[in-house]
């Protein structure tokens, strides 16, 4: 895995978004002050990939102080493919919101979404990298300082460090699991033995006896079955015969009852015949009734048409007289209307002049109203403009008076504003300086405490070593004593088995009499378990003391390094504080020895700023008031000009209106003279109404006459048509009556008897069905009597014979049921016996398997309980690491050094000096760095299990480096750079970072840490 780009925001000390591009990096240092966030970059890598870190499992603890959101994005490459994972976390009171997006880059540069669920994304990333979280943190981030302790420590210390680095705490979990599984298997063995004892498996002889009984029963069972079936057949035949005899008797009774209904059926047949004959005459009867109705209808229509014709003739005579009278009146009135029309035509010219002059008058009045309205509006605007001018004049005078009492901030305010950010920064730096002094004091106290803890740890380690030595001596003494006791007991047992004169199998001599041998006493062996337990506890105590000593030494180194960092930070803050003070004093023109107080300067600046702001507000108000007065003055002059123009236009409009009124009055007087005082429109309208009324009366009289004349013609036609229709209906009636009489006579009916014989279709169908049912039932009963008589023949039976047959059948079925029950009982018993035999075999096999498994896990638990198994694994792992580290060391040192392990110690073979062997403890700083780095990389490759390691991050573990060691370390890192890996060095040594080609510098500030990349 090779990282490409890292972006983080709201993550630990990185409050604001920071981006780190790895694409141009191969060998680089991560430098910065303590607490700046160097390790947080590695935490961001592991969080982006696995949603957790080695520092903490709680994501909320990774969020920047005061922030509620966190975002980390990592682009990385594996086996030529590029991936991008983005994780977001947001605080929520109930449950924090966590989002993840895993993407893969396609050939066209676009990104394809692989997973968006956290669990699925974590699983996919582990599969892509080929490593889980624990393996990744051990394989990618190398604690080189621990391998330095590893190479120089004793065997126990090396094993403890290697166990921690390789994650062998899993063996303790394995031991607990195997113990639990061993106890469970032991309980399972006991349960299986109890089940086998409780199973009660039958004997083989009993099983064979039951099988022979079942076989004999199976042979006899068909005979029992045939006898039962035969008894059932005889019973069924007897019962069928009895049922047929009873049925024959019932059918004969039904036949006699049916023949008793014969007279009734004969009457129904006669009635049905007359109904059928009447039904055949229904068509003729319907036609006769229809023609009779037509004659009645035609006679009524002729009477109605005759009455209507008489009425219409009377109306025609009346309308003719009214029309003649209206025509005479028209001839009398028409000359009068023509004389009135000639008089009105001569007055038309003056009327048209009047209308035009009135239109002109209306326009003039409208214009005069508009001009008056405009005049009023202009006067209103003039008054408003005068008011605005007066108000603006007053506001300007007020602003001038206020401005006279104000003054600007001046040059002093400019100076104070220039130093304002410097004062804030100076205050922060002073706080940081005070904190760094306090941190220095705490670091000194922590170092003194660590020195005391180291002394105590060394004392406890020596005491634990002495206790272990005493325990081992006690165990060895007890083992020698038990060996002597065992030999003595074996000799006594051998003496007891030999008789005088026997050959001794030990010495080959002749066994003498008992009296000739020295006495032997049987002794009980010493119990080694308490002694071994004491030795194991002492061993554990020594290991714990050694671990405590290693931790105390490491803690002291860290405390010393922290003290140095705090002192450097304090000096840096002091220099920054002095620089800021000098810059502030320079701006203010103060001497270096003059006291500098932040609060009075800030108060003075705020007061000057307030006074300057008040002055600027007053100046702005005065300028605004002057502009408003000028604008109001211009508006006033414009309103005055508008008022004068409006007055002139209003006067002209009034004069035009008066002239139009005089013209209208002259034309009206002339028109009244011609029309005798009546209005022209009234005369025209009266003439038109009289002409229209005269024409309407004549037209109405003519229309009325035409309407009644048309009705007279239509009435005469209706009478003629009704007479013709009546004559045709009477002729058709005479013909149909004659035919109807003939049909009735042919059917032996008169009209009254015909109407009595008529029946509905439902009645006829019911009579036909009753007759058919009677005939079918009679045929069916006769057939059934004949069939039953033939079937029965001369046979006879009764209930007593049936009872005998039923008794015989029950006895046969009872024998069959007893045989069946016995067969089922034997079969069930044999099945249960087979099941128990099979279950017994299966339980026995399971018991053997579980017992073997129990022995395996019991042995494994016993092995894991001691340190022998872990020691065996660690020994082989250490040997593999030495082999791989040797190859890496040769690459890093140009084949000069080879790593060896002899008699529990690490040696280095110097090939440039004839293969001279040197202890690792005697190596220089640079040589030790190369050896420990080789071991760290070897363990990384081992833990990765073949996964691609495209990047490594090293914690070099030095507090300081001298010049020679610095040169060696730089050369080794340059060699490591050539292995096509991304190498990041977390270092506190400034000179080492400056030697590497690239530095990723981490700066801390109150606004959050930030990143800068610096290249040589």
Helix axes 598-674, 410-497, angle to 10 degrees: 120
**pLDDT at site 74:** 95
Mean pLDDT score, 393-414: 80
How many helices, marked H, and strands, marked E, lie in the chain? 21, 15
In angstroms, the CA 506 to CA 760 distance is 140
| pLDDT category of residue 169 using cuts at 50, 70 and 90 | low
In angstroms, the CA 45 to CA 141 distance is 11
Picking from 655-659, 928-932, 980-984, which range would have the lowest pLDDT averaged per residue?
928-932
**pLDDT at site 175:** 67
**pLDDT at site 915:** 77
Mean pLDDT score, 66-91: 92
- The C-alpha torsion from 399 through 401 and 404 to 407, rounded to 10°, is -40
| pLDDT category of residue 522 using cuts at 50, 70 and 90 | low
Mean pLDDT score, 509-534: 66
Picking from 64-78, 531-545, 860-874, 1000-1014, which range would have the lowest pLDDT averaged per residue?
860-874
Find all residues with CB under 8 Å of 660, minimum gap 6, and list them: 357, 360, 361, 364, 365
pLDDT digits (tens, 9 = 90+) for 674-703: 666 666 677 677 777 777 887 777 788 778
Task: List beta partners, residue 950.
Answer: none
**pLDDT at site 790:** 82
Residue 167 pLDDT > 70: no
In angstroms, the CA 454 to CA 548 distance is 9
Question: Which residue ranges make up each domain of the chain?
Answer: 1-130+947-1015
Residue 1004 pLDDT > 80: yes
Mean pLDDT score, 831-836: 81
In angstroms, the CA 204 to CA 208 distance is 6
Comparing 194 with 167, the larger pLDDT belongs to 194
Comparing 839 with 940, the larger pLDDT belongs to 839
pLDDT digits (tens, 9 = 90+) for 251-304: 888 888 877 877 877 787 777 777 787 777 777 788 877 887 888 888 888 888
Residue 87 pLDDT > 90: yes
- pTM for the model stands at 0.38
Q: Are 626 and 394 in contact (CB under 8 A)?
A: no
**pLDDT at site 308:** 81
| pLDDT category of residue 596 using cuts at 50, 70 and 90 | confident
Average pLDDT, whole number, for the chain? 78
Q: How many residues does this entry show for the chain?
A: 1016
pLDDT digits (tens, 9 = 90+) for 613-655: 888 888 888 888 888 888 888 888 888 888 888 888 888 888 8
Categorise residue 501: left if φ over 0, alpha if ψ from -120 to 50, beta otherwise: left
**pLDDT at site 956:** 57
Backbone angles phi, psi at 8, to 5 degrees: -140, 145
**pLDDT at site 814:** 84
pLDDT digits (tens, 9 = 90+) for 33-57: 888 888 888 899 999 999 998 888 8
Number of C-beta neighbours around residue 844 at 10 A: 12
| pLDDT category of residue 14 using cuts at 50, 70 and 90 | very high
Residue 829 pLDDT > 60: yes
Residue 143 pLDDT > 60: no
**pLDDT at site 217:** 78
| pLDDT category of residue 6 using cuts at 50, 70 and 90 | very high
**pLDDT at site 99:** 93
In angstroms, the CA 354 to CA 665 distance is 9
Picking from 286-290, 786-790, 976-980, which range would have the lowest pLDDT averaged per residue?
976-980
Q: Is 869 helix (H, G, I), strand (E, B) or coil?
A: helix
**pLDDT at site 123:** 92
Mean pLDDT score, 871-883: 70
| pLDDT category of residue 76 using cuts at 50, 70 and 90 | very high
- Helix, strand, coil shares of the chain as percentages rounded to 5? 75, 10, 15
Q: How far is CA 814 from CA 225, 810, 821, in A?
A: 11, 6, 10
Mean pLDDT score, 814-823: 82
CATH class of 1-130+947-1015: alpha beta
Q: Which helix (H) or strand (E) segment is 18 a member of?
A: strand 18-21
**pLDDT at site 105:** 93
């Amino acid at each position: 895995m090779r990282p490409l780009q890292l972006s983080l925001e709201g993550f630990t000390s990185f409050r604001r978004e920071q981006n780190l591009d790895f694409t141009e990096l191969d060998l680089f240092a991560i430098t910065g002050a303590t607490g700046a966030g160097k390790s947080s970059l590695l935490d961001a890598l592991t969080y982006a990939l696995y949603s957790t870190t080695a520092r903490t499992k709680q994501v909320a603890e990774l969020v920047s102080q005061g922030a509620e959101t966190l975002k980390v994005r990592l682009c990385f490459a594996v086996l030529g493919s590029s991936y991008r994972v983005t994780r977001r976390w947001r605080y929520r009171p109930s449950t924090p919101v966590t989002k993840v997006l895993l993407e893969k880059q396609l050939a066209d540069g676009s990104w394809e979404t692989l997973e968006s669920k956290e669990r699925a994304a974590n699983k996919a990333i582990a599969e892509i990298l080929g490593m889980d979280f624990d393996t990744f943190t051990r394989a990618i981030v190398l604690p080189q300082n621990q391998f330095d302790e590893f190479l120089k420590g004793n065997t126990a210390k090396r094993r403890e460090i290697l166990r921690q680095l390789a994650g062998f705490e899993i063996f303790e979990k394995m031991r607990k699991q195997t113990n639990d599984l061993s106890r469970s298997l032991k309980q399972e063995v006991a349960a299986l033995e109890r089940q086998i004892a409780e199973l009660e498996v039958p004997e083989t002889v009993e099983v064979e006896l039951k099988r022979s009984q079942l076989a004999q029963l199976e042979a006899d069972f068909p005979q029992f079955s045939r006898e039962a079936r035969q008894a059932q057949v005889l019973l069924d035949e007897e019962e069928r015969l009895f049922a047929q005899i009873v049925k024959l008797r019932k059918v004969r009774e039904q036949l006699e009852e049916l023949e008793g209904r014969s007279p009734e059926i004969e009457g129904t047949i006669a009635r049905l015949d007359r109904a059928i004959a009447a039904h055949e005459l229904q068509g003729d009867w319907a036609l006769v009734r229809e023609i009779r109705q037509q004659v009645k209808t035609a006679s009524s229509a002729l009477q109605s048409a005759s009455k209507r014709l008489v009425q219409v003739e009377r109306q025609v005579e009346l309308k003719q007289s009214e029309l003649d009278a209206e025509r005479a009146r028209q001839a009398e009135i028409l000359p009068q209307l023509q004389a009135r029309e000639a008089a009105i035509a001569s007055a038309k010219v003056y009327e048209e002049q009047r209308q035009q002059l009135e239109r002109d008058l209306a326009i003039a009045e409208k214009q005069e109203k508009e001009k008056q309205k405009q005049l009023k509006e202009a006067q209103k605007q003039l008054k408003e403009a005068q008011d605005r001018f007066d108000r603006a004049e007053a506001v300007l005078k007020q602003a001038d008076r206020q401005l006279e009492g104000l003054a600007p901030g001046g040059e002093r305010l400019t100076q104070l504003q220039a130093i304002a950010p410097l004062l804030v920064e100076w205050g922060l730096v002073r706080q940081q300086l005070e904190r760094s002094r306090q941190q220095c004091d705490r670091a000194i106290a922590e170092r003194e405490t660590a020195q005391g803890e180291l002394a105590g740890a060394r004392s406890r380690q020596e005491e634990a070593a002495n206790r272990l030595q005493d325990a081992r001596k006690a165990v060895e003494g007890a083992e020698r004593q038990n060996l002597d006791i065992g030999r003595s007991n074996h000799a006594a047992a051998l003496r007891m088995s030999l008789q005088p004169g026997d050959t001794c199998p030990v010495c080959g001599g002749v066994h003498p009499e008992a009296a000739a041998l020295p006495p032997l006493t049987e002794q009980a062996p010493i119990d080694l378990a308490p002694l071994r337990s004491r030795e194991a506890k002492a061993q554990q105590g020594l290991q714990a003391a050694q671990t405590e000593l290693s931790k105390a030494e490491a803690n002291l180194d860290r405390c010393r390094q922290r003290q140095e960092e705090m002192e450097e930070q304090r000096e840096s803050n002091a220099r920054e504080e002095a620089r800021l003070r000098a810059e502030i004093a320079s701006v203010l023109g103060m001497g270096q020895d003059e006291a500098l107080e932040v609060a009075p300067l800030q108060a003075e600046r705020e007061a000057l700023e307030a006074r300057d702001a008040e002055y600027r507000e007053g100046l702005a108000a005065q300028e605004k008031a002057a502009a408003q007065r000028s604008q109001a003055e211009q508006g006033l002059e414009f309103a005055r000009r508008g008022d004068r123009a409006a007055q002139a236009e209003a006067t002209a409009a009034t004069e035009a209106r008066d002239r139009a009124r005089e013209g209208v009055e002259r034309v009206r007087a002339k028109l009244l003279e011609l029309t005798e005082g009546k209005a022209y429109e009234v005369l025209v309208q009266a003439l038109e109404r009289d002409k229209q009324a005269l024409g309407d009366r004549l037209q109405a009289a003519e229309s009325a006459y035409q309407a009644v004349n048309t009705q007279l013609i239509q009435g005469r036609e209706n009478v003629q048509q009704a007479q013709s229709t009546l004559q045709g209906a009477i002729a058709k009636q005479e013909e149909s009556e004659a035919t109807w009489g003939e049909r009735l006579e042919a059917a032996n009916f008169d009209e009254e008897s015909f109407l009595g014989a008529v029946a509905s279709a439902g009645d006829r169908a019911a009579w036909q069905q009753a007759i058919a049912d009677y005939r079918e039932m009679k045929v069916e009963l006769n057939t059934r009597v004949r069939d039953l008589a033939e079937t029965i023949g001369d046979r006879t039976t009764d209930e007593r014979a049936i009872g005998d047959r039923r008794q015989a059948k029950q006895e046969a079925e009872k024998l069959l049921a007893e045989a069946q029950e016995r067969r089922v009982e034997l079969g069930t018993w044999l099945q249960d016996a087979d099941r128990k035999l099979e279950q017994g075999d299966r339980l026995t096999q399971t018991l053997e398997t579980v017992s073997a498994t129990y022995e395996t896990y019991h042995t494994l638990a016993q092995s894991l309980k001691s340190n022998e198994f872990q020691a065996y694994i660690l020994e082989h792992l250490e040997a593999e690491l030495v082999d791989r580290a040797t190859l890496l060391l040769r690459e890093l040192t140009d084949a000069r050094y080879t790593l060896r392990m002899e008699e529990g110690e690490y040696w280095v073979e110097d090939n440039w000096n004839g293969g001279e062997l040197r202890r690792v403890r005697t190596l220089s700083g640079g040589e030790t760095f190369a050896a420990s780095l080789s071991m760290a990389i070897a363990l990384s490759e081992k833990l990765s299990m073949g996964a691609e390691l495209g990047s490594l991050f090293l914690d070099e573990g030095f507090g300081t480096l001298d010049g020679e060691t610095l040169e060696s370390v730089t050369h080794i890192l340059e060699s490591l750079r050539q292995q096509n890996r991304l190498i990041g060095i977390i270092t506190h040594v400034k000179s080492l970072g400056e030697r590497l080609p690239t530095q990723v510098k981490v700066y801390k500030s109150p606004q959050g840490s930030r990143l800068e990349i610096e290249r040589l």
